[in-house]
Amino acid sequence: MTPASVSIVIPVYNRAHLVSRAIDSALAQTVTCEVVLVDHGSTDDISAVVKNYGSKIRYIRRDNDRGPIEAWRDGAESATGEYLHFTYDDDWLEPEFVEKCLGGFGNEVAFVYTRATLHDPSAGATRVLLRHPSGINPIKDIVQYLLLSPLTISPGCAMFRRNDVLKNLLREIPGAAGPYGKNSGVGEDLLLFLLTSLSYDKYAHVSKPLADFLAHPGSITVNAQRTGKGSILAESYGVAKAFYLSQPGADKPLQGFRKTLFRLLWAVRSFLS
């Protein structure tokens, strides 16, 4: 089989009622992509959804639920593309997502991410996320942004090289515990960005909102906000940051005046993008 240049991996778990939108958006990309649906232990009618797509997608089924990160890794290990994107089963992509992300890659670029649109059906509203400085920028800038932010950028709006995903998507984070501990998807997502940054000088950001996120109670972030666990969620990301900071070559978070100046310049550059 000739490897596809891009693989879109869609982990799914008991969301047969939502995942068709994610699959349809992957198949509708302006660049042809391999679409890999990874199902670890779903008990709903996902087989009926899969049947509708036939050979258009690759379906990987495991009988036991081993958690989100094992599903991500299973998809990454099974994919054939040089570049890889994860679409969550409740999210979807605009048709140009892959094309625009590919246009941002170069030998020095670690990853590319786009702006995103958050859809909140309960409020009947949408808003654009990640209004960041656009174009190709020094990797140190995005590392500082991630270190100074309480949470992370979602991999759902980013593209990586598959080899980097296999290297930097950890199965667990040393010291992770509590409700967002081992194999929860909290922290491993942040470290995918931070650990990949260690091998590159640049990153790229596309200023168009080309990824779509759904806000609902089943979302980790939304659930944390609505149940008062926001601080616990942030603490879990702190454990991931500590692991990154223990790595050779890791950038330390800015302090004092330099931290204030960075935030000011980031805001100005973002406004102008």
Angle 212-216-219 from CA coordinates, rounded to 5°:
85
In 3D space, the residue among 161, 92, 105 whose CA is nearest the CA of residue 135 turns out to be 105
Do 121 and 199 lie in one domain? The reply is yes
Give the pLDDT score at 2: 45
Distance, in Å, from the CA atom of 240 to the CA atom of 175, rounded to the nearest integer, reads 9
In tens digits, what is the pLDDT along the chain, a chain of 273 residues? 444 599 999 999 999 999 999 999 999 999 999 999 999 999 999 999 999 999 999 999 999 888 889 999 999 999 999 999 999 999 999 999 999 999 999 999 999 999 999 999 888 889 999 999 999 999 999 999 999 999 999 999 999 999 999 999 999 888 887 777 777 778 999 999 999 999 999 999 999 999 999 987 766 676 556 666 678 888 889 999 999 999 999 999 999 999 999 999 999 999 998
Expressed as residue numbers, the domain containing 227 is 107-154+162-273
Do 87 and 38 lie in one domain? The reply is yes
End-to-end CA distance of the chain: 41
Burial class (CB in 10 A: 0-12, 13-18, 19+), 252: exposed
Residue 104 three-state SS: helix
**Could you tell me if residue 98 is inside a domain?**
no
Q: Provide the CA 108 distance to its chain's centre, in angstroms.
A: 20
Angle 159-11-157 from CA coordinates, rounded to 5°:
25
Whose structure tokens read 């690759």? Answer: 58
Do 83 and 170 lie in one domain? The reply is no
Do 214 and 150 lie in one domain? The reply is yes
Give the pLDDT score at 216: 74
Do 116 and 59 lie in one domain? The reply is no
> Given 45, 66, 93, which residue is the final one in a domain?
93
Do 202 and 248 lie in one domain? The reply is yes
Do 112 and 221 lie in one domain? The reply is yes
**Could you tell me if residue 84 is inside a domain?**
yes
The H or E element that residue 27 is part of is helix 19-27
Do 113 and 85 lie in one domain? The reply is no
Give the pLDDT score at 184: 75
Give the pLDDT score at 229: 63
**Could you tell me if residue 101 is inside a domain?**
no
**Could you tell me if residue 184 is inside a domain?**
yes
Do 56 and 128 lie in one domain? The reply is no
Four-residue CA torsion sign, 205, 207, 209, 214: positive
Distance, in Å, from the CA atom of 265 to the CA atom of 257, rounded to the nearest integer, reads 12
**Could you tell me if residue 182 is inside a domain?**
yes
Do 58 and 125 lie in one domain? The reply is no
Do 75 and 144 lie in one domain? The reply is no
Give the pLDDT score at 205: 98
* pTM: predicted TM-score of the whole model, two decimal places: 0.94
> Given 66, 93, 120, which residue is the final one in a domain?
93
Q: Which residues are CB-neighbours of 241 under 8 A, at least 6 positions away?
A: 146, 147, 190, 194, 253
**Could you tell me if residue 99 is inside a domain?**
no
Distance, in Å, from the CA atom of 31 to the CA atom of 27, rounded to the nearest integer, reads 9
**Could you tell me if residue 234 is inside a domain?**
yes
Number of domains comprising the chain: 2
Give the pLDDT score at 181: 72
Instruction: Count CA within 13 A, CB hemisphere, residue 98.
Output: 27
